[in-house]
Amino acid sequence: MLSKLKAKLLAESCEEYLCRLFEGIGKSSLNAFTTLAKESALDEARQFDKNPGQGLLAGVPIAIKECISTKGIETNCSSRILRGYIPPYDAHVIERLKAEGAIIMGKTNMDEFAMGTSTETSCFGPTKNPWDQSSVPGGSSGGSAAVVAGGEAPCSLGSDTGGSVRCPASFCGIVGLKPTYGLVSRYGLVAYANSLEQIGPLTHTVEDTALLMEVISGHDRRDSTSAEGERHSYLPGLKDGICGLKIGIPREYFGEGVNRDVEKAVWEGIHTLESLGASWQEVSLPHTRYALAAYYVIAMSEASSNLARFDGLRYGSRQGGDMDWHTTFSAIRAKGFGPEVKRRIMLGTYALSAGYYGRYYLKALKVRTLIKEDFLRAFKDVDILASPTMPIPAFKIGERINDPLSLYMADVFTVPINLAGVPAISVPCGFAGHLPIGLQLIGPHFCEAAVLKAAQAFEAATAFHEAKPEVI
Active site residues: 65, 140, 164
Rounded alpha-carbon distances, angstroms, from residue 6 to 9, 16, 438:
5, 14, 28
Please name which of 144, 110, 113 lies closest in space to residue 124, comparing C-alpha atoms.
Answer: 110
The secondary element (H helix, E strand) that includes residue 139 is none
Q: Do residues 112 and 65 touch, judged by C-beta distance below 8 A?
A: no
User: Going by C-beta distance under 8 Å and a sequence separation of 6 or more, which residues neighbour residue 82?
Assistant: 75, 76, 310, 315, 316, 317, 336
Interacting residues of 269 by C-beta distance below 8 A, sequence separation 6+ = 386, 429, 430, 439, 458, 462
Q: List the strands of the sheet with 435-442, edge to edge.
A: 33-36, 103-108, 61-65, 155-160, 198-203, 175-178, 424-432, 435-442, 384-388, 246-250, 279-283
142: left (phi over 0), alpha (psi -120 to 50) or beta: alpha
**Euclidean distance between CA atoms 447 and 241, whole angstroms:** 16
The residue type found at 30 is L
Q: How far apart are CA 170 and CA 436, in angstroms?
A: 6
